[in-house]
Structure 1
């Protein structure tokens, strides 16, 4: 009976052990062998974070490349423009006394030839693109008839020294291009005087001396004193300011600007008593010359100072009898008082405030071309 009882109990025990074994086997198998379905292992938050990091890094990389490309483009363009504007490399083997060894050779004005073979100097302005390097002006005798056409008694050659654009108001409205010409035969006297001013025993100036002269001419006080002294002594004896408007204007507008300039310079440019009756009469004569109408753009006006300081004004109005290379010039009048032309010249050449700073700078550089050559020779132009 015991055996039978044990036999009856044994299957239930075995069955219980089997169930436990199966349960342990079942549980252990789930832990050891995960399900093949991938969705059960996804971490959505982690995936979102990784996606966000990827997109952020991608944007950073793309923007970095864009910025680097723009910087490279701008820097390359800047360097290229700098190289294109850079003058030709000077030969360092040249002696210091050679004009071409100076760094200011880069400031020389460029002279080219037009389709007719005439030498011209670019102005940088699209309306008035160039000025002639040489002016051939007829010599005229002064007379009471201010409206008579120019009757030549020979001619005088004038060489361009410098030019520039006059602007007005704080926004820089362009008015006209002005160029300063000196009679070629009178350049030697100006050369000699300026060279001796820096070095009394020299016949030409070396780079360091030219820098000294340039600084003096650009100084508001010293420059005005220098030019006032030269003009009072008739050096240079004959010179011209060529004025060509870049926009339509009128004689009254030009007159007002000239009169203000003369009145501002007259006390320092004239002898004591500059405001006397004689000077006042000269100013009335000067104003009367501008009682005219409009001045279209590109029309030429010449302010001419002769050896006695007499001021003559010629205008290309198309009604004169003398045909020049640039048009028909008409003598519209003269003013004999030397103080008027001297004050007007100082308005362009020197002082704290000039009519055109680019013109003053260009004129000074033109003077440097003169004094770097031996006295009696005309400065060579770079073609």
Structure 2
């Protein structure tokens, strides 16, 4: 055998071995969808099944298999890890797919946030609050919620001339409170003169059947503003409260409020009214204003407190004690920048004695839902606490009296002055009432409470 023949045989064997090696090293892969469709049709078609059996009868050949591999989709080929270009293409394809998914996710997130913002922008929060209050009132209101102390309540007129009145021997003007448990407050109340005999009822108007000729020595008080006292983040309603000022003292109050802004004016213009309101709501200046005004004598006022649920005097007392502590803290805080405010009045032994007298005044009696607690502050500043349960019809009862004016001053400031007051809605309503007084000429005692 010649050398050329041997070389040819060797090259043929090498090619065969190379093809066989590639066949043996070929990894299994998924067939294309077209091939799978073709194979499945062989079992559904008898003719194709016969042809397939004929083909399968042939001896398997790695050459035939290699031809099949070469004819399949190029994407099914395994990527050679040494082929840098193919690896780069695979990486770019995966990266492009991931970026596309991220874009879709970002667009979806932006659309969700935008839709939520658009929904919130179009929601009328005031209407939702009114609707919630209305539903709450419907749930909380009992069968007698349209009555006020046994009198039927009805509305007269409409618009600005609308009046809510309680029927009786004499009509009693009412104001809605926004509470379902205590829906109405009287626009006027009649309280006994300090030191006189306890009155029959706070609504016993002079020259009425139960108070002919004002024999009970009652004085008229006008509502300034009211609000609801709530506790905890759940806004649990505790009581409804309103501040009243003796009607004949309104002119004195008007003059003092006006002179806070303009000492030479008899009434305030709109810009000055805004300035007064801002000062009375400011955490610092409100402390100064009320510290000054409550030290001055000559104005009688009263807080009317009506529990929204059954409670007792001990619970109410604890709330007032906390208010006194907050007011003292606010005064001390403001004094750091305003040395003119005197704080020694609240740090001596006599103030501690006054606090003990105030706490001991409440023996722990019950205050049912709808009962009335009145804290009456006379001209010098001493405070008398009165109680009335209209359901029993026993009239106004005297709970006790604290002569020290510092107690009433701090209770009033706990509701009206500083950063943290007992009821912010009440403070705002009272301030609005005072600003309304200041916007009227001095001497006009008639007012409308919204």
Structure 1 segments unaligned to the other structure (5+ residues):
1-70, 86-107, 143-147
Whole-Å Cα distance in 1 between the matches of residues 449 and 222 of structure 2? 14
The aligned residue for residue 187 of structure 2 is: 133
Residue 270 of structure 1, CA deviation: 6.2
Q: Which residue of 2 aligns with 1:250?
A: 312
Determine if contact 1:248/1:296 at 8 Å carries over to the other structure: yes
2:386 corresponds to 1:314: yes
Q: C-alpha separation between the residues in 2 aligned to 1:79 and 1:260?
A: 33
Whole-angstrom CA distance in 1 between matches of 2:267 and 2:347: 40
Aligned-pair distance for 1:279? Answer: 1.2
Indicate conservation of the 8 Å contact 1:176/1:243, yes or no: yes
1:74-223 equivalences under 5 Å are 78=124, 112-116=164-168, 117-141=171-195, 154-223=217-286
1:369 correspondence with 2:436: yes
Contact 1:167 1:356 (C-alpha < 8 Å) held by counterparts: yes
Matched residue of 1:259: which SS? helix
Report the Cα distance in structure 2 between the residues aligned to 1:295 and 1:317, rounded to whole angstroms: 8
Residue 389 of structure 2 corresponds to residue 337 of structure 1: no
Deviates more, 1:195-204 or 1:222-231: 195-204
**Among 418, 425, 444, which residue is 1:351 paired with?**
418
Structure 2: how far apart are the matches of 1:79 and 1:219? 26
Give 1:293 deviation, angstroms. Answer: 2.6
CA deviation vs aligned residue, 1:345-382 (integer Å, no higher than 9, x gap): 00111211111111101001111211111011124327
Given the alignment of the two structures, is residue 303 of structure 1 paired with residue 355 of structure 2, yes or no?
no
What is the DSSP-based 3-state SS (H/G/I as helix, E as strand, rest coil) of the residue aligned with 1:220? Answer: coil
Query: What is the TM-score normalised by the length of structure 2?
Result: 0.56
Which residue of the partner structure matches residue 240 of structure 1? 302
- Going from structure 1 to structure 2, the CA distance change for 1:252 and 1:209 (only over 3 Å counts) comes to same
Q: 2:207 — aligned with what?
A: none
Distance 1:158 1:109, change over 3 A: farther
Q: Contact (CA 8 Å) 1:234, 1:308: kept in 2 or not?
A: yes
Q: Contact conserved, 1:150 with 1:331, CA < 8 A, in 2?
A: no
**How far apart, CA to CA, are the structure 2 residues paired with 1:318 and 1:112?**
20
Query: Deviation at 1:307?
Result: 0.7
Write the distance in 2 (CA, Å) between the matches of 1:131 and 1:275.
Answer: 37
- CA drift of 1:335 comes to 0.3
Residues 119, 273 of structure 1: alpha-carbon distance in 2 compared, 3 angstrom cutoff: closer
Shift of 1:285: 1.0
Determine the structure 2 residue equivalent to 1:6: none
TM-score computed with the length of structure 1 as normaliser: 0.66
CA shift, 1:131, in A, is: 0.4
Q: Deviations over 1:248-287 (max 9, x none)?
A: 1111111111111112323638651423222111111111
Q: Cα–Cα, structure 1 residues 80 and 150, in superposed 2: closer, same or farther, change >3 Å?
A: closer
Cα deviation digits, residues 161-181 of structure 1 (max 9, x gap): 000000011111110000000
Contact 2:370 2:389 in 1 (8 A): no
- Choose between structure 1 and 2 for higher RCO, CA contacts under 8 A separated by at least 6 residues: 1
Task: Count how many residue pairs are aligned between Structure 1 and Structure 2.
Answer: 278
Secondary structure at the aligned position of 1:280 is classed as helix
Secondary structure at 2:344's aligned position in 1?
coil
8 Å CA contact retained: 2:199, 2:216: no
Counterparts in 2 of 1:270 and 1:254: CA distance versus 1, 3 Å? farther
